[in-house]
Amino acid sequence: MTAPQPAVADSNDSGRGVPSRGLWLIERELLVALVHDPARISDVYWWLAGHDFADQQHGAVYDTIVRLYEVEDLRSTDPERGLDAHAIQMAFTHNAMSVRRALEENLFNRVPFDDPHKYVSDLFTFSDPAQPVSPRLHGQAVLGMSIKRQVSEWGVSLKRAAEAKPMGPGGVSALLGMHAAMEGRLEELADELRISSGQEALRSDQNSIAPIPFESAGPLSAKAVERAERKIIHWMFAGDPAPGVPGQFQRQELLARFQPEDFVLRAHQVTWRAIQTAAGMGQSITPGSVGWHIDEMEVERKYGEVEDGFDLGLDYEELLYMSNHEPADISEAVPTVLRSAITRLAEQARQEIRATAEDPQADVQDVLEEARETGAELKVATERLGGPLPAADPARAPGRLAGEREFTMSPQQGDAGRARTR
């Protein structure tokens, strides 16, 4: 007979059921210690649960031990009660057999065991009850890894919620609901960590927030996103529609909603930044003003005064074409770009949360704090993109943003000399 081994010995503790060898042994030693001395269950009772164990069967055994403890079916092995070595061994054997019987009869769990008799025999036969084990310290190690796994899983949940449908202005409730649920769970995990260290919980409300049910809308094609981005840029060169027209967007509203990084193509990012700059300076949105600001960014890049990596914006001919042709309807383009941006932001959040959670050197408190901060940043971006639109200002001249002035080029900056190649 050989001692039980973890199903897969992996250095990555992020997946339940695939614990590292070290964590698997810690969980096993904790179970043996609790069966040997049931009085120590109180050390972990209020903050450790079966789902915290990376090995699912270990978690089922722990839940079984706790339930047997609650119904007083475990015998004490405390030497201070006058028990000799034989009595202590008999009590330990009784406790192990009670666990085995409960697993065989599925009294307290639904986790499958191929052979509960052999599993429990292997678990306790190759153990040393006399080996000094601190249930609290072992439990804290199990809880710490559980928190890291759960935090990493919340990052995945945020990404999935970002792909929910409908995804449009005002249609981001699934992601915001998932973030609210994550915030609540992070507070619960922080409290479990405090209690495990002998501190008081900070939360008075222990009611978890359930995520909003959602259905995935599926992936977006790169071509669809590119077309949608171009339509929105084209829209900026046209006059604003009458306020209140269903499915239409005021240019000021689009500027308030989208940032350059919300666009995928670098040329679109640079062009949108140029449009923002022109609007911010009170200039009319024309090929001349936008093209000028694109060139200014190129000059600044050449001398290293701005972030490296800026690509050229749209060609002047493209801007001129947009200015001279009616734009297409953007009622579908806006939700497409919005969904593309939020999905990418959620993926970045997932990667950041996972990187911290899977860092073996990261403190559990740091993992929780990173998840909070990353989630808060994603929430702010989501509310900007999909939240209520800012109120439109009806007092504006046709073809301009509110308060903008005409953009006039000097002779050296004439449109005739602005044709560029990509």
Rounded to two decimals, the pTM is 0.77
Closest CA to 280 of 249, 251, 315: 251
- The stretch 82-111 carries a mean pLDDT of 85
The span from the CA of 86 to the CA of 357, in Å, is: 46
- 3-state SS, residue 75: coil
**For the ranges 92-106, 266-280, 300-314, 373-387, which has the lowest average pLDDT?**
300-314
Contacts of 169 (CB under 8 A, 6+ apart): 257, 334, 335, 338, 386, 387, 389
Structure tokens at 307: 């972030």
So what's the pLDDT on residue 114?
A: 82
For 395-412, the pLDDT digits (tens) are 443 334 444 444 444 433
Q: Report the 10 Å Cβ neighbour count for 229.
A: 25
For 104-159, the pLDDT digits (tens) are 888 887 788 888 888 888 887 756 655 678 999 999 999 999 999 999 999 999 99
Domain 21-138 has CATH 1.10.860: yes
Side chain identity at residue 269, one-letter code: Q
**What are the extents of the domains in the chain?**
21-138, 149-197+335-391, 238-326+401-417
Structure tokens at 213: 């049910």
**Furthest-apart CA atoms within the chain: distance in Å:** 104
With tokens 């306020």, the residue in question is 243
Higher pLDDT, 365 or 167: 365
With a cut of 70, say whether residue 329 has pLDDT above it: yes
With tokens 């860092």, the residue in question is 359
With a cut of 70, say whether residue 12 has pLDDT above it: no
The span from the CA of 196 to the CA of 199, in Å, is: 7
